[in-house]
Structure 1
Amino acid sequence: MIKKCTLYTFLTFFILTAEFKKVSGQNLKFGFEINDNRKSTIIPFEMNSNLIIVNVLFEGVIPLKFIVDTGVSNTVLIDKTYSDILNIVPDRKLTLVGAAGIKEVEAYIANKTSIKVGKITGSNIPLLILKEDYLNLQKTLGIKIHGILGYDFFKNFVVRVDYKNEVMKFYRPENFNRPMLFYKSIDMEIQQSKPYIFQRLQVNDSTELLSKLMIDTGASHPLMLHKNSSKYIQLPEKNVRDILGAGIAGSIEGHAARIPRLSIDKYNLEDITTNYPDSGAYEDIIKNTGRNGTIGGGVLKHFKLFFDYGNEKLYIRRNSIAKIKFKHDMSGLTVVAKGEYYLEPYYEIEKVRKDTPAYKAGLRENDKIISLNGNMGKDLSLDLINRTLKQKEGKKIRIKVKRGQKILSFTFYLEAFI
């Protein structure tokens, strides 16, 4: 029994640090820097399923879309096709292990690539190139994603992330003198190129836990907790079986539930939808880092954030999104994006969980969605479909699908499972 594929990007890469070398007689630039001695620069982004997506120029030639992901160490090219087009010869081959440790995949490291993001240029960037598009994010996001920007993109700057207005601002640390009077300062530890904070969780009605949580802009969930990281973290009685994310080794499965409260300094977030991956999925990570879980974009979007990696500080301030409650699918459907259908992307029902409103209404696997609550054609997107199916309990859903050669219409009402 598998639920809506709510598009979380959990990427666990065990990557050797690339060696930087000087070319004879030349001192080359390495890493990302702001162009033209500017003190700061603004980078607009698109938010899709709580993920930050930016336009990049790869090797000064090919425009691509990358996810900005604090949970990943290296810059990643998901599709080797683009490095092949430019005849980029990798420096070495790697074997990566998925989160569950049961599948190995091939990848390559190219040490001297160029990536431009707005007025920021990355020179001689070590690039992890996946042999194949193992993540298949187009299926679960509805748009083509070509790569990921990780720790390398953050480490040289102070970075403001404004989810509400969909912009990031990058400051040279030596020029950052903005007053932070209205922000709370939180100690942030950078371990193995990833940011961690220690905050309190109320995991049930009687238990509060000081937890070590990774800040992960590349995960769209609000919160993920590892049951095997603490005896106090247990799966709540009210839960639902779910697909929790896409990893290099395939889907990550587990359960979705809710916890009463997450406290981030003085800010309390309540009734938070929380993912519990199956035991063993992150066993090595828990053993090596002691982490209890991950804070993803579903929580982070409630704040304006400043990441200061150099001083290991996170500054936060609530925004107006904070008034929005944490939601979860209420239909029982897993919907994915497919290829070209009448020259348009189309959306197909991949799974229908039994005894849910959608199943009882008569919807089934492989039904192709034609319209949803009056939206059809170019008005439809995977993000819109997923948001519609988690709006509020009792919401009327009108859906028209194509099944074989038949056009069928169904009506049902959303129902909260957790």
Structure 2
Amino acid sequence: MFNRCLTAVLFILFCGLTFSQSRFTLPRSERTKVKFQLIDNLIIMPVEINGVTLSFILDSGVSKPILFNIIDSVDSLKLKNLESIYLRGLGDGDYVVALKSEKNRFRIGEALNINQDVYIITDESINFTPRLGVQVHGIIGYDIFRDFIVEINYGSKFLRLHTPETYQYKPCKKCETLDLTLVNSKPFIDAHVVMNDKKIPVKLLMDSGGSDALWLFEDNSLGLVPKNNAYFVDFLGKGLSGSVYGKRSKLDQFSINDFHFKNLNVAYPDSAAVSFARKFKERSGSMAGELLKRFNIIMDYGNAQVTFKKNKYFNTPFTYDKSGIILEQSGSRIIKESKNNTPLKTDRTSGGIMVIEAYKYELKPAFNIVELRPESPAETAGLKVGDIILTVNGRQTHPLKLQEVISFFRGDEGKLIKLVIDRNGVIMTFRFKLKSLL
């Protein structure tokens, strides 16, 4: 699942929970449309909770809605009926303490649930906003897919939630429809990979909450291992239970029926970080955002099927970070900017106009290096964790979005990168070339 992977590796297991809340309905129509942002291959959409609009990741791998990063909204949310509970997610850490709240009013577009459970994580260190560069307050998944036929239009960046009883499929010769296997409220599909000239069937979680293309669980007996032992160890993402590391490699081919991808990125997560995810013995890994975004998708849990259709992203190249830098948008820095020259005073002796340069000071995002891959081009050049990137190849970073800055590091091998950074108040310049490890 966050390729610089992301950020939000969000597979969550709930133990010993019972669910009694009502369902989402569409009181006044048969469908509703919800626009979303596509950030690092993740769907970020508005969800209204008890009258407060927040930003959620749509994650098909999560069982129940989870809230975090809500310290500024906690009073207005009016959460009630709180009780402590333990959650477990991907990562190298332990269980996370959360609060369960019942009888909340959720609205997504025109879809409404007046009795929704939600789980609140109060640990401020669990926050995916810095890794995405946009505000994210929570994740939601199964409750939406359970109650609607969900049309995900990655190409035009919108969802349509359809009432199952009235939805009618349109004929589509260019579509592929597959069976869904639902296990613990999560959707799995059957696909194939080709490795070392061997075609291997795989069962994969459809994981819209991960930003990588494909994760595979290493299995020597099946041949699910990095091609020709060619890989590098990297940060793969951050889950509720900590960071996830693993091997990055390339895959000869991945196929969903007649849709084929060649020479794509694949990651093999460390087995300890995904030990809970592997309790479903038939599971081989995950198909995540970098692959999913290449289709427009219709998810139909009621009929246990999913439909894929190519979109404009289908043939876009698979890229990954070639610098060794993991970047976060964390905190702010003060930027001095020149205003337009303004005539402030008339010079009566010369008949001219005196122009005084005026400045304004604004708070802008700070882009911090939070991890460096050992022996990577960036580390070898002398960059350090904690450095704040001010410019990339002559471009100021403060007007850019986080993902725009990161895109510089996914360029072609050999591309020269020049960084100006702030290290504890000292301005320094570094140069290095991007290096492909695959």
TM score, norm. by length of structure 1: 0.91
Deviation, structure 1 residue 83:
4.3
Paired residue for 2:411, among 388, 391, 395? Answer: 391
Point out where structure 2 has 5 or more consecutive residues left out of the alignment: 335-362
How far apart are residue 233 of structure 1 and its match? 1.3
Amino acid at match of 1:150: G
Q: Give the deviation of 1:230 after TM superposition.
A: 5.3
The structure with the largest helix share of the pair is 1
Is 1:137 matched with 2:128? yes
Q: Alpha-carbon deviations, 1:200-223, whole Å to 9, x = none?
A: 111x22222111100010000100
Determine what percentage of the aligned residue pairs are the same residue: 28
Q: Distance in 1 between matches of 2:264 and 2:47?
A: 33
1:75 corresponding residue in structure 2: 65
Q: How does 1:266-345 map to 2 (within 5 A)?
A: 266-342=258-334, 343-345=363-365
Aligned partner letter, 2:171: M
Matched with 1:14 is: 14
Does structure 2 conserve the Cα–Cα contact (< 8 Å) formed by 1:308 and 1:314?
yes
Is 1:95 the equivalent of 2:77? no
| Pairwise CA distance, 1:101 | 7.4
| Distance 1:31-1:17 versus aligned 2 partners, 3 A rule | farther
With over 3 angstroms needed to count, the CA separation of the structure-2 counterparts of 1:271 and 1:235, relative to structure 1, is same
The whole-number CA distance in structure 2 between the counterparts of 1:86 and 1:298 is: 33
Root-mean-square deviation (CA, aligned residues, Å) is 2.1
The 2-side partners of 1:217 and 1:12 are apart by: 13
Shift of 1:47: 0.7
* Equivalent runs, 1:349-364 vs 2, <5 Å: 349-364=369-384
Larger radius of gyration: 2
Q: How does 1:120-159 map to 2 (within 5 A)?
A: 120-159=111-150
Aligned pairs for 1:56-205 (under 5 A) are 56-60=47-51, 62-79=52-69, 81=71, 82-83=73-74, 85-99=76-90, 103-181=94-172, 182-202=174-194, 204-205=195-196
In structure 2, the partner of 1:26 is: none
* DSSP-derived class of the 1:170 partner: strand
Closer, same or farther: CA 110–404 of 1 in aligned 2, 3 Å: closer
Question: CA separation in 1, counterparts of 2:135 and 2:118?
Answer: 19
Where does residue 27 of structure 1 map in the other structure? none
Aligned length: 405
The 1:332–1:91 alpha-carbon spacing in structure 2 relative to 1, beyond 3 Å, is closer
Is the 1:99–1:249 Cα contact (8 Å) retained in structure 2?
yes
Q: Report what 2:255 is aligned to.
A: 263
Provide the secondary structure at the position in 1 that maps to 2:165: helix
Shift of 1:354: 4.0
| Structure 1 partner of 2:424 | 404
Contact 2:69 2:127 survives alignment (8 Å): no
Alignment gaps of 5+ in structure 1? 22-29
**Is the 2:208–2:288 contact (alpha carbons within 8 Å) kept by the matching residues of 1?**
yes
Secondary structure (helix, strand or coil) at the match of 1:385 reads helix
Q: Residue type of the partner of 1:325?
A: P
Distance 1:167 1:134, change over 3 A: same
